[in-house]
Structure 1
Amino acid sequence: MGLYLKLAFGNVRRSARDYSVYFATLGFAACLLYSFVASSDYLNRLDLSPDQTSVVASSGDILQAFSIFTVFVFLFLVRYANRFLLRRRSREFALYKLVGMDRGAVSCVLVMETACVGVLALALGVLLGVALSPAFGAITAFVFDVPWRPMVAFSSQSAVWTSGCFAAVFALNAFDGARNIGRRPLIQLIAAERAPEVASTGGRLARGVQVAVAAVLLAVVWGACVFQPVYFIAFIIPMGFAACFATALVARIVVTGWAARARSRTERYWWGLRAFTVRQVESRVASSSMALACVCVLIAVSVCMMVAGFAFSVGMRTPELVSQGLAASMAPIGFIGIFYGSVFLLSAVAVLSLQQLSGAADARHAYASLAKLGCERADMALSVRKQVLLYFAAPFAGAMVHDMFGLFLVAFLAFALGTSGFFAITGGVLLFTAALLAVYGVLTSLAVERLCLADA
């Protein structure tokens, strides 16, 4: 067992570059989860009026209940990240089997690696949450409209809750990863990094059916937002699934049409590495359209939730609403909206980044072949940047289309409650979302370029 533990620690140190985005994302996720649950403790250390104390006490259980749903979001995020890491390191696990390690030993090493990364990410996240507690406390006090003073606060109860959630998430994913590696034959592990992920887009009839299904689903979702907002809220979960499925169909249809138009322009298509870039984008979207659709919908939902959160907690501070106590009663809902919006946005950009890193692992050999054929490094780098730009820009553009209807619903609720400053709040949230995607896109582009051109 000591040998396996030493091997696991060595693998984590050696694979620090592969784990970097994964580790940073998990650390920030732990920080958000801890800070969200600890928000009640921040408020209890401030000078609250009796009415505010009552609101905070009643919202504490609500905040913790909503944090359970956040765990499911992080479970999806960790599962997606684990898939990327297992694909990158499948040949390494195959070598373990070749030197005589049995299935149980390989699974044990993988579980230890997962536990090591999870414990480090959890510790970093909680420590970061404690260090940033004055800032989180300021945000909480701002949302609840109470006086604030800087203080560093640690909540043992929130740390235990966060640790329990992370332990459950990582236990499930460690078990799933160990089972996945253990049951795959040796030849499949060796070829996994080179094997492309492909999916058939179907013929003309199939594409026609997809267009019709997507149009019907989007008409139902968008129509409910505008004309039947009450029904949309009542059936928001199935509406979300319908939006994801329809967006995935649209993504595949649009990319297929874009590739066909690009090929029809023969001179431009064969200029530089345009043909290679088009083929790369087409194949990746065909195999990951559902993931891109989920990212698109997550971005759209995060924008709506953050706008609603700020509108309900900040935009309702008119003297009339404050005197009625309505602003204080809406503060917990506003805080939930802001927190969940940030969680969804983090998950979306992390999935985009991890997807691009996974694609870089697949395309590395193709770029090495291009280099042997005499392609300039600058042309290959330009192709990488174009692909990453498209992968980050397209989901954001799709999310903005969804938000044209989603924000209509949020505006209807906000104006019905008497919220002020709605358009300023919306503009600020959209600007923040675009800036975060741009920063993550630049960092991802640099990492993908380094991976793709490592052998060029």
Structure 2
Amino acid sequence: MSLERKLAVGSIRRSVGDYSVYFATFAFCACLLYTFASCRDYLLVLDTGQFSLDVFARVMEYIIPVGVFSIVVFCFLARYANRFLVRRRKAELATLQLAGMGKAAVARVLLMECGAVALAALAGGIAVGIVLSPVFAMLAAWAFRLTWRPVVVVSTVGMTFTAAGFAAVLVASAIGALRELGRTSLLDLMQARHVPEVARARRHHSIGRDVVKGLVCLSIVYFLCWTVVGFLGLMIPASILACMGTFWLLRALAALIPAVVRSRRGVYLKGLTCFVTRQVEAHVESSCAALTCASALLSVGVCALSLAVGIRSVVDVEQAGGDLEMLAGTGTLVYIVLFFGVTFMVSAAAVLALQQMSEASESRERFVELTQLGAERDALSRALLAQVAVYFLFPGTMAVVHDAFGFMVAAGMLDMLGIPVENVNFTLVLAVVMVVFVAYLLVTYRGCKRSVLGWLAPATAGGAGPEAAGGAA
């Protein structure tokens, strides 16, 4: 075994916690890709009723090309996970360079590590997809109005498509890793753990400009949703405007809310509120893009799920008049829209989880220092929960506002298809999604708590001295 390979294997063993986040992201991508591409095999094991096998074979002519778009989304998600990993590994990469390895050799070690974990995630994601195939087959049966029965499905088509798509995701991840490593100097690598992100002071007129720009952009988009009949033709420019407006508003709110909290001394000085406020402020500039992305993905995902429910609720065998081609086409449309709704929604939660795991791991030393100053475990846990909740609350709130107008677009699309809007309970769909979103928030909090406070036993809460905390660090 070569030295570089030994270093890669050793790094993976030492950094299991960091690579678990990376592994989970890639396994999630692989599982969803496999699920999407296995639609035909799911349908073939079910009771096909009046459908012919040729109809299901033609379904894949539409499923596979549309699936390419999901690969683009996963490439973005993989690059985001890659940034988290490189930021966590900077100190160790600096040590390798100090030991005499060139940047090219260090890059090869990093690529070996990422490649090995990604291949393991590919196998794990496909395995999870196979184990959960009865559940995914239930979704396919729901979309095509077939009778469901629990059967484990192994799809060679799904595996092939997943492997090909995963190769593209892995290439995007490798390019991101090399760029991140190439533009970071040795000094920056060495100081990565000791140089915190500093909040940049912003003037009031700068914050005011962000508020005005954000409100103007969103007002234009919402006005178009409300008044323009052919809004679908303006979807791309309107989406860009909505993202820009969301970004500016989130950046302004991230500066205004801490200022309001600080002005109320009774609130600001209670518990660790001042610490949480400074933590949020310190990551404003680097977090707004991720929060905007999560808000956009979540709002589009909710609208897509509403469309899937609306389309499926109307078309049935009697209304189609026995036209199996129409039923197959409708089922394909419902399955595609449902898949993208779930993909966007889970991707939004994954972006926020990755961002919070990254910030939590970087904040670990600050929590150690708070313990040395006498902070109790319960207070630290509440501070961490508040920090995670703030980052989930911002995009979640913006997504709800966007969906209030996005439902108008969804209603217009249903009307174009001749589907009564009354068949869709938009509020129920949004409520279910928000419940899932809150559940993901709690899962993320538990992961961050395990990463940041896992070393602090409950029995030592409030009693861990500097020696204990320093030894744990």
- TM-score normalised by L of structure 1: 0.92
Q: Any idea what SS the aligned residue of 1:320 has?
A: helix
Deviations 1:338-359 (A, max 9, x none): 1011111111111111111111
* Alpha-carbon distance in 1 for matches of 2:321, 2:311: 12
* Alpha-carbon distance in 2 for matches of 1:193, 1:422: 54
* Alpha-carbon distance in 2 for matches of 1:246, 1:212: 9
Q: Residue 315 of structure 1 contacts residue 420 of structure 1 at CA under 8 Å; is this kept in 2?
A: no
Please tell me the residue identity of whatever aligns with 2:351.
V
Q: Residue 134 of structure 1 contacts residue 151 of structure 1 at CA under 8 Å; is this kept in 2?
A: yes
- Residue 313 of structure 1 and its aligned partner are, at CA, apart by 2.1
Deviations 1:353-412 (A, max 9, x none): 111111112322222222233333322221111111221222212111111011122123
- Residue 53 of structure 1 and its aligned partner are, at CA, apart by 4.8
* Alpha-carbon distance in 1 for matches of 2:352, 2:171: 24
List runs of 5+ in structure 1 lacking aligned partners: none
* Alpha-carbon distance in 1 for matches of 2:177, 2:413: 44
Q: Residue 316 of structure 1 contacts residue 322 of structure 1 at CA under 8 Å; is this kept in 2?
A: no
2:238 aligned with 1:239, yes or no? yes
Q: Residue 201 of structure 1 contacts residue 286 of structure 1 at CA under 8 Å; is this kept in 2?
A: no
Further displaced range: 216-225 or 396-405: 216-225
- Residue 450 of structure 1 and its aligned partner are, at CA, apart by 3.2
Mapping 1:10-409, distance limit 5 Å? 10-48=10-48, 53=53, 55-198=55-198, 200=200, 202-231=202-231, 233-317=232-316, 319-321=318-320, 328-409=328-409
Q: Residue 83 of structure 2 contacts residue 176 of structure 2 at CA under 8 Å; is this kept in 1?
A: no
* Alpha-carbon distance in 2 for matches of 1:135, 1:376: 43
* Alpha-carbon distance in 2 for matches of 1:276, 1:30: 38
* Alpha-carbon distance in 2 for matches of 1:126, 1:132: 10
- Residue 421 of structure 1 and its aligned partner are, at CA, apart by 6.2
* Alpha-carbon distance in 2 for matches of 1:350, 1:433: 14
Deviations 1:203-257 (A, max 9, x none): 23333322222122111222222222522x2232332222122111111212222
Please tell me the residue identity of whatever aligns with 2:253.
V
* Alpha-carbon distance in 2 for matches of 1:446, 1:149: 35
Taking only aligned residues, the RMSD between alpha carbons, in angstroms, comes to 2.4
* Alpha-carbon distance in 2 for matches of 1:119, 1:55: 34
- Residue 78 of structure 1 and its aligned partner are, at CA, apart by 0.6
Q: Residue 214 of structure 2 contacts residue 245 of structure 2 at CA under 8 Å; is this kept in 1?
A: yes
* Alpha-carbon distance in 1 for matches of 2:267, 2:42: 59
Q: Any idea what SS the aligned residue of 1:272 has?
A: coil
2:382 aligned with 1:413, yes or no? no
| Structure 1 pair 322–358 and aligned structure 2 pair: CA distance change class (3 A) | farther
List runs of 5+ in structure 2 lacking aligned partners: 456-468
Please tell me the residue identity of whatever aligns with 2:24.
A
Deviations 1:164-217 (A, max 9, x none): 111121123223313432452211001123333457474233333222221221
Further displaced range: 240-249 or 106-115: 240-249
- Residue 32 of structure 1 and its aligned partner are, at CA, apart by 1.1
| Structure 1 pair 147–359 and aligned structure 2 pair: CA distance change class (3 A) | same
Aligned to 2:461: none
* Alpha-carbon distance in 2 for matches of 1:19, 1:422: 45
Please tell me the residue identity of whatever aligns with 1:293.
T
| Structure 1 pair 322–357 and aligned structure 2 pair: CA distance change class (3 A) | farther
Q: Any idea what SS the aligned residue of 2:375 has?
A: coil
* Alpha-carbon distance in 2 for matches of 1:178, 1:77: 16
Q: Residue 384 of structure 2 contacts residue 449 of structure 2 at CA under 8 Å; is this kept in 1?
A: yes
* Alpha-carbon distance in 2 for matches of 1:19, 1:153: 29
* Alpha-carbon distance in 1 for matches of 2:179, 2:389: 35
Further displaced range: 76-85 or 125-134: 125-134
Deviations 1:310-363 (A, max 9, x none): 211234338435657755432222111110111111111111111111111232
Q: Any idea what SS the aligned residue of 1:89 has?
A: helix
* Alpha-carbon distance in 2 for matches of 1:52, 1:430: 36
- Residue 31 of structure 1 and its aligned partner are, at CA, apart by 1.1
Q: Residue 107 of structure 1 contacts residue 179 of structure 1 at CA under 8 Å; is this kept in 2?
A: no
* Alpha-carbon distance in 2 for matches of 1:170, 1:283: 31
| Structure 1 pair 272–138 and aligned structure 2 pair: CA distance change class (3 A) | closer
Please tell me the residue identity of whatever aligns with 2:291.
L
* Alpha-carbon distance in 1 for matches of 2:314, 2:19: 41
Q: Residue 360 of structure 2 contacts residue 452 of structure 2 at CA under 8 Å; is this kept in 1?
A: yes
Further displaced range: 57-66 or 30-39: 57-66
Please tell me the residue identity of whatever aligns with 1:307.
S
Q: Residue 25 of structure 2 contacts residue 78 of structure 2 at CA under 8 Å; is this kept in 1?
A: no
Q: Any idea what SS the aligned residue of 1:69 has?
A: helix
Q: Residue 71 of structure 2 contacts residue 168 of structure 2 at CA under 8 Å; is this kept in 1?
A: no
The number of aligned residues is 454
Q: Residue 194 of structure 1 contacts residue 362 of structure 1 at CA under 8 Å; is this kept in 2?
A: no
Please tell me the residue identity of whatever aligns with 1:7.
L
* Alpha-carbon distance in 2 for matches of 1:212, 1:143: 43
Q: Residue 195 of structure 1 contacts residue 362 of structure 1 at CA under 8 Å; is this kept in 2?
A: no
- TM-score normalised by L of structure 2: 0.89
Q: Residue 384 of structure 2 contacts residue 445 of structure 2 at CA under 8 Å; is this kept in 1?
A: yes
* Alpha-carbon distance in 1 for matches of 2:329, 2:422: 19
| Structure 1 pair 197–75 and aligned structure 2 pair: CA distance change class (3 A) | farther
Q: Any idea what SS the aligned residue of 2:100 has?
A: coil
- Residue 59 of structure 1 and its aligned partner are, at CA, apart by 3.1
- Residue 438 of structure 1 and its aligned partner are, at CA, apart by 2.1
* Alpha-carbon distance in 1 for matches of 2:420, 2:196: 51
Please tell me the residue identity of whatever aligns with 1:238.
P
* Alpha-carbon distance in 2 for matches of 1:154, 1:391: 39
Please tell me the residue identity of whatever aligns with 1:308.
L
